[in-house]
Amino acid sequence: MLPENIVKDFKNIVLEIKQAHIKALQSVNTVLLTLYWNVGKIISEKIRISNWGDSVIEGLAEYIKTNEPEITGFNRRNLYRMREFYETYTENEKVSTLWTQLSWSHHRNILSKTKTIEEKEFYMLLAVKEKYSVRELERVIDSGYYERYMLSDKKAFFNSAIAIHPKHTEIHQQFLDTYSLEFLQLPKTHSEKDLQQAIVENLKDFILEIGKDFSFIGQNYRIQVGNKDFYVDLLFFHRELQCLVVFELKVTEFKPEYISKMDFYLEALDRQIKKPHENPSVGVILCKDKDDEIVEIALSRSLSPTMIAKYEIELINKDLLRKKLHEFYELKNNIIEQ
């Protein structure tokens, strides 16, 4: 057995190797993306000011394939993507420091699966912030995360169900109005126990959906008040908000009486579990459905930071989400003009 001081030295050397390897990969990625950007720029400018047409791109792809077969990754589709890559972001200063932090596979997903520049910026920022893998990014795009986030934000603008108290605005921005839980593969008819167990068994995907700042603490977390035991469905800690977060699961439509139960849990957690340096606990009641007007009235007198969200067990139609978002934008603009 090696002495402890030697093992420590070996670990430090291995750490140096790993860090250098990461830096090398990042450097290679930056070089590749810069190359793709420059190729896209040349193609774009040649089409704009010269006699190049789209057919020339096909000719370029064929030329590289025939004359330089060892050069890969420059087929017709990728060359079009490189041109799109350059033209999409060339005048966008917001993302000028971001695009080298993602891989080409990340960019291809964003370019091919999104429509507006706002949506592209959103997913680029999100992928960098959350350090999404390509698969994770693809999943959040397919689930309509951008539309769901913006719809939640728009509801906050109208001071409705999810933003009754201005002092809770920062908290509400960390949560969505609708969560997509299609990865649980639940049948249409399921119990709260089924929902809870499926979430725990798919905890990694659940945290990907609700946000990577969440750390799981426990399932059916016990709180003792007086001589009685009470159990919180799911308890998390949120790193950015620095607070405990309760998820109460309901397979029915939201009911006003759910609020008082959540207030009780939050008060008990703040008295017994919350540490002195942490912020007051937050509650999320995750329901099968909800009526926003009922939610608004139910929350209007509650002082606790509680969110009411619904969950879907199938991917939501993105066209429907885009339509709803467009309607909210129109309504917001009409209010501002008035």
Q: What's residue 257's pLDDT?
A: 93
Cα distance between residue 218 and residue 221, in whole Å: 6
Per residue in 296-330, pLDDT (tens digit) is 788 876 777 888 999 998 887 777 777 777 665 55
Q: What's residue 252's pLDDT?
A: 94
Q: 222 or 99: whose pLDDT is higher?
A: 222
Q: What's residue 17's pLDDT?
A: 81
Cα distance between residue 63 and residue 105, in whole Å: 24
Q: What's residue 328's pLDDT?
A: 58
Q: 24 or 150: whose pLDDT is higher?
A: 150
**For residue 245, what are the CA distances in angstroms to 179, 265, 284, 296, 305?**
16, 10, 7, 21, 10
Q: Is a pLDDT exceeding 50 seen at residue 336?
A: no
Question: Average per-residue pLDDT in the chain?
Answer: 86
φ/ψ of 310, rounded to 5, equals -115, 160
Q: Is a pLDDT exceeding 70 seen at residue 338?
A: no
Q: 165 or 27: whose pLDDT is higher?
A: 27
Provide the sign of the torsion angle of the four alpha carbons 316, 320, 323, 324, taken in this order: negative
Q: 3-class DSSP state for residue 191? A: coil
Cα distance between residue 310 and residue 287, in whole Å: 5
Q: What's residue 171's pLDDT?
A: 77
Per residue in 230-259, pLDDT (tens digit) is 999 999 999 999 999 999 999 999 999 999
Per-domain residue ranges of the chain: 1-89, 91-142, 146-337
Q: What mean pLDDT is predicted for residues 210-222? A: 94
Percent of the chain topping pLDDT 90? 55
Q: Specify the fold of 146-337.
A: Trna Endonuclease; Chain: A, domain 1 (3.40.1350)
Q: What's residue 170's pLDDT?
A: 67
Q: 138 or 97: whose pLDDT is higher?
A: 138
Q: Which residues contact 110 (CB under 8 A, 6 or more apart)?
A: 120, 123, 124, 127, 137, 141
Q: Is a pLDDT exceeding 90 seen at residue 195?
A: yes
Res. 183 pLDDT band, cuts 50 70 90? very high
Q: Is a pLDDT exceeding 70 seen at residue 156?
A: no
Q: Is a pLDDT exceeding 80 seen at residue 177?
A: yes
Q: Are 249 and 232 in contact (CB under 8 A)?
A: no
Per residue in 16-52, pLDDT (tens digit) is 888 887 777 777 888 999 999 999 999 998 888 877 7
pTM: 0.77
Residue 25's Cβ-side half-sphere holds a number of Cα atoms within 13 Å equal to: 10
Cα distance between residue 321 and residue 139, in whole Å: 16
φ/ψ of 308, rounded to 5, equals -115, 120
Q: Is a pLDDT exceeding 60 seen at residue 157?
A: no
Q: What mean pLDDT is predicted for residues 164-180? A: 72
Alpha helix (H) residue ranges in 94-250: 104-113, 117-130, 134-142, 145-157, 169-172, 192-201, 203-210
Residue 155's Cβ-side half-sphere holds a number of Cα atoms within 13 Å equal to: 24
Q: Is a pLDDT exceeding 70 seen at residue 332?
A: no
Q: Is a pLDDT exceeding 90 seen at residue 181?
A: yes
Q: In what helix (H) or strand (E) does residue 222 lie, and over which residues does it extend?
A: strand 214-225
